[in-house]
Amino acid sequence: MLKIDGITRRFGQVTALDGVSLEIGQGEFFALLGPSGCGKTTLLRIIAGFETPDDGTVTLDGDDLLALPPNRRPISLMFQSYALFPHMTVAKNVAYGLEREKLPREEIRRRVGEVLETVGLSAHGDRKPAQLSGGQRQRVALARSIVKRPRLLLLDEPLSALDKKVRADMQLELKRLQHEVGITFVVVTHDQEEAMSLADRIAVFDSGSVRQVDEPVALYERPRSPFVAGFVGANNLFRGTARTGGVDAGELGELAGTPLEELEEGAAALLCVRPEQIVLHRSGDPADGNAGDAESGEPVEALEGSVLDVSFYGGVSHLSVEVPGHAKPVLVAVQGASAVQPGAKVRLGWDAGDAVVIPATP
Ligand code: ATP
């Protein structure tokens, strides 16, 4: 439905977007994810029409979108700040865009009623924005964005102003709404958990370029570059040389993993293993000395180290483990409270199928 092809935008010396190409399907919930300054907002502004690219094309259903002025594009943009009119009621705020289009009064009343119902604010139509909670204001902004029935809704960091609990609720709400209204959503965020929980597909940006486009699970389990492996979720990265069954990590020895298909043996590589995939044994435990069995799929205990720190988060605990010969502590996640204390000597292992081996260069 939306086709972005070779978009480049420079600001003086800065190349905000460097030949970005993406295809977004009808009804998709699509996220643009990346660190601050990587060009996400610039791309959103180009789609909305507030910014002109130096090069490239954008089409919507095959029609040239860049030729249309912003107000003629079938697109709504929801800002971080919501930008609600403080002196107008909720219903008036939502009706504003339709009134400007001079739609019949009765149609406006009906459509505003319907959309307030959709976002669960039917009882609050007569309130002013100041009389609402942050989450409710967020819903008014959403209602105002969808009441005009755009083909595409662009959301710039839509949940960043909300506190953690409300944010989690609103994530669910946004997802439900998107399904209900069937409008294609493109959301910009620097929060990888938010992108993964919301989106059907995610494009990961780095310095004006797209590094990977994938579904959340694929992005998490099969990052294809060091940038994505390090940016999306916590990860342990071990540098070495690609081998059929993992990497040769020099001083650390052979580490088990599954190389990406395109990776050639002998190439400079990174082995990536998630904290929750690592199995930890205390040295001296009955289970210790069990070297595992790669054939039977049991984790092979690969590394030895000592626990530096244990942090309890309720459902999980995070342990950082110092491994001689590896610069960064290895992060291990265990269910619930950890039985292991700082200072304990431990052995770490994982299943070869749970670690991915990727090229060391982008
Ligand atoms: P954030 O998450 O912080 O909003 P972003 O990924 O959305 O970041 P952009 O706002 O798209 O990043 O900016 C990309 C780059 O282009 C940055 O280096 C920024 O400083 C630069 N930039 C953006 N707009 C302009 C402008 N109008 N003039 C000059 N430089 C700009």
User: Same domain, yes or no, for 198 and 336?
Assistant: no
**145: Cβ contacts below 8 Å, ≥ 6 apart:** 76, 77, 78, 153, 155
At 298 the pLDDT is: 52
DSSP labels, 143-207: HHHHTT--SEEEEESTTTTS-HHHHHHHHHHHHHHHHHH--EEEEEES-HHHHHHH-SEEEEEET
Write down the pTM of the prediction. Answer: 0.86
* CA nearest neighbour of 181 among 157, 146, 145, 156: 146
Indicate the average pLDDT of the chain.
89
Q: Of 169, 197, 221, which marks where a domain is finished?
A: 221
Tell me the per-residue pLDDT of 276-304, one tens digit each, with 9 for 90 and over: 999 998 876 655 444 444 444 455 667 99
User: Same domain, yes or no, for 178 and 313?
Assistant: no
At 285 the pLDDT is: 61
Domain count, the chain: 2
- Could you say which DSSP state residue 263 is in? P
Task: Write the single-letter amino acid at 338.
Answer: S
* 228 part of a folded domain: no
Q: Which atom of ligand 1 is nearest to the CA of 208?
A: 14
Helix axes 164-181, 134-146, angle to 10 degrees: 20
Distance CA 322, CA 327 (A): 8
Which of left, alpha, beta for 72 (phi over 0: left; psi -120 to 50: alpha)? alpha
* 226 part of a folded domain: no
At 22 the pLDDT is: 97
At 294 the pLDDT is: 42
User: Same domain, yes or no, for 239 and 212?
Assistant: no
Tell me the per-residue pLDDT of 208-256, one tens digit each, with 9 for 90 and over: 999 999 999 999 999 999 999 989 888 999 999 999 889 999 888 899 9
Give the CATH number, domain containing residue 54: 3.40.50.300
User: Same domain, yes or no, for 332 and 249?
Assistant: yes
The domain of 316 spans 234-359
Residue of the CA atom closest to atom 17 of ligand 1: 37
DSSP reduced 3-state for 351: coil
User: Same domain, yes or no, for 274 and 192?
Assistant: no
At 146 the pLDDT is: 87
Residue 141, Cβ neighbours under 10 Å: how many? 23
User: Which residue has tokens 């990406």?
Assistant: 260
Percent of the chain with pLDDT over 90: 61
**CB-ligand 1 contact for 32 (6 Å cutoff):** no
User: Same domain, yes or no, for 238 and 204?
Assistant: no
User: Same domain, yes or no, for 274 and 142?
Assistant: no
Q: Of 221, 249, 277, which marks where a domain is finished?
A: 221
Residue of the CA atom closest to atom 24 of ligand 1: 42
Tell me the per-residue pLDDT of 72-130, one tens digit each, with 9 for 90 and over: 899 988 876 667 899 999 999 999 989 988 889 999 999 999 989 888 888 999 999 88
Residue 42, Cβ neighbours under 10 Å: how many? 21
Residue of the CA atom closest to atom 18 of ligand 1: 37
* 127 part of a folded domain: yes
Tell me the per-residue pLDDT of 134-165, one tens digit each, with 9 for 90 and over: 888 888 988 898 888 889 999 988 887 777 77
**Phi, psi dihedrals of residue 57, rounded to the nearest 5°:** -130, 155
Q: Which atom of ligand 1 is nearest to the CA of 9?
A: 16
User: Same domain, yes or no, for 182 and 294?
Assistant: no
**CB-ligand 1 contact for 37 (6 Å cutoff):** yes
Pocket test for ligand 1, best of 7, 10, 11, 51 (most atoms within 8 A of CB): 11
User: Which residue has tokens 């009621």?
Assistant: 89
- Lowest-confidence segment of 161-165, 202-206, 315-319 by average pLDDT: 161-165
User: Same domain, yes or no, for 215 and 239?
Assistant: no
**CB-ligand 1 contact for 42 (6 Å cutoff):** yes
User: Same domain, yes or no, for 347 and 278?
Assistant: yes
Tell me the per-residue pLDDT of 21-76, one tens digit each, with 9 for 90 and over: 999 999 999 999 999 889 999 999 999 999 999 999 999 999 999 999 998 899 98
At 82 the pLDDT is: 67
**63: Cβ contacts below 8 Å, ≥ 6 apart:** none
Q: Of 221, 242, 259, which marks where a domain is finished?
A: 221
User: Same domain, yes or no, for 147 and 31?
Assistant: yes
At 81 the pLDDT is: 63
Q: Which atom of ligand 1 is nearest to the CA of 205?
A: 6
* 315 part of a folded domain: yes
Cβ–Cβ under 8 Å, residues 228 and 211: yes
* 227 part of a folded domain: no
Give the CATH number, domain containing residue 256: 2.40.50.100
Does residue 347 carry a pLDDT above 60?
yes
User: Same domain, yes or no, for 173 and 296?
Assistant: no
Tell me the per-residue pLDDT of 187-198, one tens digit each, with 9 for 90 and over: 999 888 889 989
